[in-house]
Structures are given as structure tokens and as C-alpha cells.
Amino acid sequence: MPRSRLSVVPLCAVAAALSFSGCSSTPVDPTKDWSPNKIHSEAMDERNAGNYEKAIGLYEKLEGRAAGTPLAQQAQLEKAYTQYKSGEQAQALATIERFLRLHPASPALDYALYLKGLVTFNENLGLLGSLVQQDLSERDQKAAKESFEALREVATRFPESRYAPDARARMTHIVNSLAQSEVHVARYYMSRGAYLAAINRAQTAITDYPKAPALEEALAILVSSYDALGMTQLRDDARRVLQSSFPNSAYLGRAQNTGGKPWWKLW
């Protein structure tokens, strides 16, 4: 019996020690006594320092601490921007969509829509602010179209917004890229001898994006494809439009001087 009693005492002591240890390891919230403005200031400092994960956590605390105030709305949008900066596009879009649902009449609605367009635009382009670094024409166009719609809403609903000029510039780039995408596909079909498919894609570019720079090549593709199919009347009509719209087009010179060799073949 004494041996049994002695063996129990250490086990109880260990259990008590573990219990106290568990209590002492409870994480302490350093922001517990902070004001909402201090949380906001610290979140901005962390973001500016590149500590995005910490900044996002602070913005989430601020959302709860300042619930129902304009500062909470600001925290939500700044969290979305921080998620975007950290490369978390999906999370940023989810945060923005939640903001748009909860605050449809917010004074910051123009920025929320602009940020939505920026996130999807950047998903295709790469670096922020680069309008020419990458070619969207060979990539999936779904995000580009979604970006365009968000940016168009900024430009039309908030024409005096500080974000409207950049929104319009990005819209122009997206339209040109979408047109070039159609021409890229048309060019591919034509190089494979699928002339009807090439004609359809070139016509889509001409109809949907009549002011895009890709219009010139789209018309040239029509000329060559109609010629390959022996549709001389349609070929001549397309050539007249090409010559009228782009009298100095290099495609006209190539078509005239290649001795029957298609202009799109370099070999």
C-alpha cells in the first residue's frame, strides 16, 4: 500500500503542472487595449514593411473592433488590397465581393470596383501598372472580360472619380488584347488551312472590336482566306476595305509581292 500511495503523488503533481503550463501558454492578444486607430496605423506599417500576413490579421481585427463604422469599411478594402499585394488574388476578390454585397452605397464604391478590376487585370498582366509588359492575346480571356466590366462600371458610374482615368486606360488595353486574341486564333487556323474557321474569328474581331489595332490584320486574314477558298468577290471586297482603312498597310504590299506565297508564312 505505501508503494501504491507514493506512485500516485507524482502523477498528480505532473497533472497539476501540465494544467498550469496549459494556462500559461494561452496566447496574449497584444492589440487587446489598442484603439481602432492604433490598429489601423500598425496594419499600415506592417503592410508598408512587406509583412502582409501580419497586416491582414490586423485589418481583420480592425473590422471586428470598428464594426459598423466607416473605418471598418476602410479596413475591409485595405485588407483586400493587401491580399492582392501578397499575391492572393482569389482571397482579394472574395473580400471585395463581400464588401460590395454589404456596402452597395458606400462612398468608397468607386475604389472597390476599381480594385476588383485591378486584381483581375493584374492576374493576366503580371506587374501592377504595366500596360504593355505581357500580351494577353494568347491567354484565357475570362478574367480580362471580368476586369473590363468592373473598370467600365467605374468609368460610367463615377466619371469624376480619381480612379476613372486609369480605369479607361486599362479598358482600352483589354479591348485591344481581346481583339488580338481573336486574330491570334484566326492566324492559327489559317496557317493550318482551316480557312472558314479563320474567317469566323477574323470577322468576330472586326465586329466586336472595330477600333482595335488588330483590325488591320483581321482584314488581311479575310483577304487571304477568301482567296484560298476561291471566293474572289468576298476577297476583293475585303481588300477594298483594307486598302481604304489602311492605305499604307504592309499586308497589302506582301499580298502583291509574294508571288502567290501567303503573307503569314515566313518560310
Question: Which 3 state secondary structure label does DSSP give 42?
Answer: helix
Provide the percentage of residues in the chain whose pLDDT is more than 70. Answer: 78
Q: What pLDDT does 266 receive?
A: 35
Provide the percentage of residues in the chain whose pLDDT is more than 90. Answer: 69
* pLDDT of residue 245 exceeding 70: yes
Residues 6+ apart with CB under 8 A from 234: 222, 226
Q: What pLDDT does 69 receive?
A: 92
* pLDDT of residue 27 exceeding 80: no
Using CA of residue 72, residue 78, residue 79, residue 80, what is the dihedral sign?
positive
* pLDDT of residue 125 exceeding 80: no
Mean pLDDT in residue range 34-43: 93
Using CA of residue 177, residue 179, residue 180, residue 182, what is the dihedral sign?
positive
Rounded to a whole number of angstroms, the CA Rg of the chain reads 30
The three cell numbers of residue 101 are 454585397
Q: What pLDDT does 179 receive?
A: 92
Between CA 99 and CA 155 the distance in angstroms is 19
Q: How far is CA 107 from CA 39, 60, 220, in A?
A: 22, 21, 48
Between CA 228 and CA 182 the distance in angstroms is 20
Q: What pLDDT does 258 receive?
A: 41
Smallest CA-to-CA distance from 100 within 122, 119, 121, 124 is with: 119
pLDDT digits (tens, 9 = 90+) for 163-172: 999 999 999 9
Report DSSP letters for 55-105, one per residue.
HHHHHHHHHHHTTTSHHHHHHHHHHHHHHHHTT-HHHHHHHHHHHHHH-TT
**Residue 252: band (very low, low, confident or very high) from pLDDT cuts 50, 70, 90:** confident
Residue entry with cell 488588330: 214
Q: What pLDDT does 4 receive?
A: 47
Lowest mean pLDDT segment, chosen from 36-40, 181-185, 227-231, 254-258: 254-258
Between CA 160 and CA 33 the distance in angstroms is 41
Ordered by start, the domain boundaries in the chain are 39-88, 193-257
Q: What pLDDT does 256 receive?
A: 45
* pLDDT of residue 263 exceeding 80: no
**Residue 128: band (very low, low, confident or very high) from pLDDT cuts 50, 70, 90:** very low
pTM attached to this predicted model: 0.72
Question: Which 3 state secondary structure label does DSSP give 92?
Answer: helix
Q: What pLDDT does 28 receive?
A: 81
